[in-house]
């Protein structure tokens, strides 16, 4: 674009903006004036120069009422399309735009400057700026009007002394002890909001010290400015007169009764009662063993009431997995007090069970980006409270058939897959005590499963997996998973001559199938703020560590087999970081970075096939087919193996950007950009005993797949857009993506214009369930 064209473009854009803004005027009704907003100008007194004026201005600006119509690049588009939609024949586009971004007009007749002045002065008083001044001035034309507020900010009142006015009641000793952690300090300016916070803080702490009937409204602050003439004040805290006597004494738990099988309207006559450690368990028949349920209750008979302990107990009972409702009720006894002067409480815990057994069946239709498609079925049986101790037993099975429906040399290939898995989840640490886990119940998980995959004309792959481990939540953000025992046996059998030739040609793939036995220790840590709806910018962090073969190496005496099976040795670590920036109505911008590295050593020269990293697909770099990237600039296309050889590596790097926005009702949209690949970090051994074709293949894979300083030029990069049907967190996702950089093309030919270059190969359609991250 030359200079003349640039000036014309700028002139046209400015003309359009001015014309659009002025076009609003003709729609404003006679007798009305459009409100254009307000501004505040603050002036500090000479002795108030050290005040942080920006923070004060920001707070006062929140008081301006009402909000004017919004502007976008100087245009009131929301108002414009609202007016357009009011015409006799608005047209479909104007009606749709009004529904999406339209705004009701805000007229000056709705503005009350005097009321805003009162709000400003009240807020200044609450922040210690007593005797300030606020004035307003209206700035108007024939159709538009705004307000300018001028505020004189005086020197604030600052705290000289803060103390508690005490009498003989024991409760004052408790409050005095809590004031050691107060945020109200001498030298601070008067701040009503801080005083409200202090009352709430004391209330929470008092309820944790047994004061069941305490209330923050019973506390009152009094400020005394008469002792000073230099804008200082003393602050006193006391209980209000007339505070009920039952609110100033602590309460002790006199009895605890648990109803493990409670339902509304249930028979209350025929009950079996049992007592464990002073806790009464009442149930029609033994639904839950009292000795198994008692450790989840954190408060005891004779203890002072503690609101936090009661809340944590409810959380623990809910997380067992056997109950849909947990209701803890405390009731005061008629007895005024015990020998210590404490009130008495009876605690009743009502537990409403979930259905003990459930059976779920799923019919599935699978369509993969590598051309395979077919039906599947999955069955899951759940038995909750299996041994009457909150255990959940699950048995699941699946079966699927897929066939290669795409044309070409690979058409006609098919695969049959099936699996059976049993899981037992025990809501406690076996064999350890759960007493240290206050926030939620730690769980022990034992799993045993088997899978079989038969690919026509290629091979049969069977595997058996068994794990024993623990999961627990440290708090509402932090989750841990530790599997000290994780055993996997993989057997490759019934290989055809065609697949044997592939293995002979590709030693890297052959070695990854040779190690049949994996004995590893896994640990996972997750920090997740997404569940906290109050956070507008939640953060997600997850890391997993997987170490295999070290113990077997000691047991086997450093031999490369155990029980006649070759075992794997490696260390593998991955990190997943995500940041969510949310605003407006369901709008979010998400950034994600993922890195993973696996190091084979000792008995292994490569990672086992099931432990390698892959890139590409609907949950990765969406502009490339599933598992089709890498390693490095290597590609298996052209050798006829793409249908069964998934390209892999021991190093993976990925980054994603995604902007999500609502369209209409349950339909959401997104624009995204992805980048990533996998690489090799170890040089492959090239043996002179191998056939020349094998040596050539190994040399190409080793050269093209190595991670090096030019790794950024080897990234698969793509952009795209998508539609998501989001119905109460069940998401069906459709994404269309196109590559910008294709790493396996010759250097100098890797960059493409997305959606235009490359013909049909430049478009990748992804169908998936759930968000990608």
Domain 24-68+106-153 grouped into CATH 3.40.190.10: no
Task: Tell me the mean pLDDT in the region 451-467.
Answer: 88
Domain 613-773 grouped into CATH 2.60.120.10: no
CATH 3.10.20.310 intervals, the chain: 24-68+106-153, 158-247, 251-353
Task: Tell me the mean pLDDT in the region 193-206.
Answer: 96
Cα–Cα distance measured from residue 55 to residue 415, given in angstroms and rounded to the nearest whole number: 65
Residue 685 is given by DSSP the state P
Cα–Cα distance measured from residue 394 to residue 751, given in angstroms and rounded to the nearest whole number: 50
CA distances from 251 to 200, 248, 761 (A): 20, 10, 73
Cα–Cα distance measured from residue 672 to residue 722, given in angstroms and rounded to the nearest whole number: 8
Dig out the tokens for 693 from the structure: 């074709």
Q: Are 503 and 679 in contact (CB under 8 A)?
A: no
Can you name the residues that pair with 520 across neighbouring β-strands?
486, 548
pLDDT of residue 580 exceeding 90, the answer is yes
Name the band, by pLDDT with cuts 50, 70 and 90, for residue 17.
Answer: very low
pLDDT of residue 12 exceeding 60, the answer is no
pLDDT for 43 equals: 87
Q: Are 454 and 476 in contact (CB under 8 A)?
A: no
Cα–Cα distance measured from residue 530 to residue 580, given in angstroms and rounded to the nearest whole number: 8
Task: Tell me the mean pLDDT in the region 660-670.
Answer: 89
CA distances from 398 to 277, 359, 416, 452, 651 (A): 45, 14, 11, 10, 31
Q: Among positive and negative, which fits the CA dihedral 290, 291, 295, 296?
A: negative
pLDDT of residue 123 exceeding 70, the answer is yes
Residue 377 or residue 75, greater confidence: 377
Q: Where are the beta strands (DSSP E) in 385-438?
A: 392-404, 414-426
Between helices 692-705 and 497-505, what is the axis angle to 10°?
60
pLDDT digits (tens, 9 = 90+) for 606-620: 888 888 999 998 999
| Backbone conformation region of residue 9, classed left if phi is above 0, alpha if psi is from -120 to 50, else beta | alpha
List the Cα angle 757/759/765 in 5-degree steps: 100
pLDDT of residue 387 exceeding 70, the answer is yes
- List the CATH code of the domain at 158-247: 3.10.20.310
- List the CATH code of the domain at 251-353: 3.10.20.310
Whether the model clears a pTM of 0.85, i.e. scores above it, the answer is no
For residue 608, the SS3 value is coil
**Taking Cα atoms as reference points, which of 385, 387, 329 lies closest to residue 357?**
385
Average pLDDT score over the chain = 86
Name the band, by pLDDT with cuts 50, 70 and 90, for residue 11.
Answer: very low
pLDDT of residue 117 exceeding 90, the answer is yes
pLDDT for 6 equals: 46
pLDDT for 15 equals: 47
Q: Where are the beta strands (DSSP E) in 154-243?
A: 158-164, 219-224, 232-239
**DSSP string covering 647-708, please?**
--BSEEEEEEEEEEEEEETTEEEEEEEEEEEEEB-SPPP--TTS-HHHHHHHHHHHHHHB--
pLDDT digits (tens, 9 = 90+) for 321-334: 899 999 999 999 87
Task: Tell me the mean pLDDT in the region 625-645.
Answer: 70
Helix (H) or strand (E) holding 349, with range, is strand 343-353
């Amino acid at each position: 674009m030359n200079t003349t064209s640039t000036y014309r473009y700028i002139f046209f854009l400015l003309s359009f903006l001015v014309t659009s803004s002025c076009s609003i005027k003709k729609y404003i009704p006679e007798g009305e004036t459009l409100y254009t907003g307000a501004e505040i100008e603050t002036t500090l007194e000479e002795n108030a120069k050290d005040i942080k004026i920006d923070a004060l201005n920001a707070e006062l600006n929140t008081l301006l009422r009402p909000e004017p119509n919004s502007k976008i690049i100087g245009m009131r588009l929301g108002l414009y399309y609202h007016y357009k939609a009011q015409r006799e024949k608005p047209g479909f586009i104007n009606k749709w735009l009004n529904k999406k971004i339209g705004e009701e007009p805000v007229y000056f007749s709705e503005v009350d400057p005097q009321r805003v002045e009162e709000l400003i002065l009240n807020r200044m008083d609450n922040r210690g700026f007593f005797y300030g001044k606020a004035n307003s001035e209206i700035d108007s034309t024939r159709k538009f009007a705004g307000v300018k507020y001028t505020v004189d900010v005086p020197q604030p009142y600052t705290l000289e002394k803060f103390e508690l006015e005490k009498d003989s009641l024991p409760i004052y000793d408790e409050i005095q002890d809590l004031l050691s952690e107060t945020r109200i300090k001498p030298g601070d300016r008067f701040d009503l909001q801080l005083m409200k916070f202090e009352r709430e803080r004391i209330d929470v702490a008092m309820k944790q010290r047994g004061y069941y009937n305490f209330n923050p409204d019973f506390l009152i602050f009094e400020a005394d400015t008469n002792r000073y003439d230099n804008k200082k004040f003393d602050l006193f805290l006391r209980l209000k007169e007339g505070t009920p006597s039952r609110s100033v004494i602590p309460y002790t738990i006199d009895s605890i009764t648990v109803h493990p099988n409670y339902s509304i309207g249930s028979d209350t006559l025929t009950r079996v009662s049992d007592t464990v450690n002073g806790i009464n368990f009442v149930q029609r028949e033994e639904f839950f063993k009292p000795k198994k349920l008692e450790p989840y209750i954190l408060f005891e008979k004779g203890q002072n009431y503690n609101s936090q302990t009661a809340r944590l107990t409810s959380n623990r009972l809910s997380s067992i997995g056997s109950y849909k409702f947990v209701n803890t009720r405390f009731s005061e006894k008629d007895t005024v007090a015990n020998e210590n002067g404490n009130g008495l409480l009876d605690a009743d815990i009502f537990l409403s069970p979930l259905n003990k057994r459930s059976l779920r069946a799923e019919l599935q239709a699978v369509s993969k980006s590598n051309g395979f498609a077919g039906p599947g079925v999955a069955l899951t049986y759940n038995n909750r409270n299996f041994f009457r101790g909150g255990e959940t037993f699950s048995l699941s099975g699946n079966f699927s058939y897929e066939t290669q429906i795409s044309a070409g040399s690979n058409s006609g290939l098919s695969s049959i897959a099936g699996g059976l898995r049993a899981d037992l989840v025990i809501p406690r640490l076996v064999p350890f005590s759960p007493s240290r886990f206050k926030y939620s119940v730690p769980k022990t998980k034992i799993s045993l499963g088997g899978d079989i995959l038969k690919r026509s004309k290629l091979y049969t792959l069977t595997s058996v997996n068994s794990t024993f481990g623990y999961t627990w939540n440290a708090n509402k953000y932090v989750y841990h998973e530790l599997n000290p025992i994780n055993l996997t046996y993989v057997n490759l059998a019934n290989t055809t001559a065609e697949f044997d030739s592939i293995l002979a040609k590709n030693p890297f793939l052959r070695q990854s199938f040779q190690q049949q036995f994996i004995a590893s220790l896994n640990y996972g840590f997750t920090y997740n703020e997404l569940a906290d709806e109050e956070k507008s910018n939640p953060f997600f962090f997850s890391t997993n560590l997987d170490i295999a073969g070290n113990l077997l190496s000691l047991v086997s005496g450093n031999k490369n087999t155990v029980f006649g099976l070759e075992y794997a040795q490696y260390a593998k670590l991955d990190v997943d970081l995500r940041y969510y920036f949310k605003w407006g109505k369901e709008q979010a911008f998400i950034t994600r970075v993922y890195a993973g590295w696996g190091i084979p050593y000792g008995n292994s020269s490569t990672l086992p096939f099931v432990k390698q990293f892959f890139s590409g697909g609907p949950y990765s770099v969406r502009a490339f087919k599933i598992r089709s990237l890498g390693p490095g600039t290597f590609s298996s296309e052209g050798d006829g193996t793409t249908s069964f050889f998934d390209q892999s590596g021991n190093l993976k790097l990925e980054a994603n950007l995604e902007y999500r926005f609502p369209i209409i009702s349950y339909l959401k949209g997104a624009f995204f950009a992805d980048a990533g690949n996998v690489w090799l970090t170890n040089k492959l051994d090239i043996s002179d005993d191998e056939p020349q074709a094998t040596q050539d293949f190994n040399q190409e894979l080793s050269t093209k797949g190595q991670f090096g300083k030019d790794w950024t030029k080897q990234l698969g990069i793509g952009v795209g857009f998508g539609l998501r049907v989001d119905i109460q967190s069940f998401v069906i996702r459709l994404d269309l993506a196109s590559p910008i950089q294709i790493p396996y093309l010759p250097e100098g030919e890797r960059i493409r214009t997305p959606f235009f270059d490359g013909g049909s190969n430049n478009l990748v359609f992804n169908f998936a369930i759930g968000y990608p991250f």
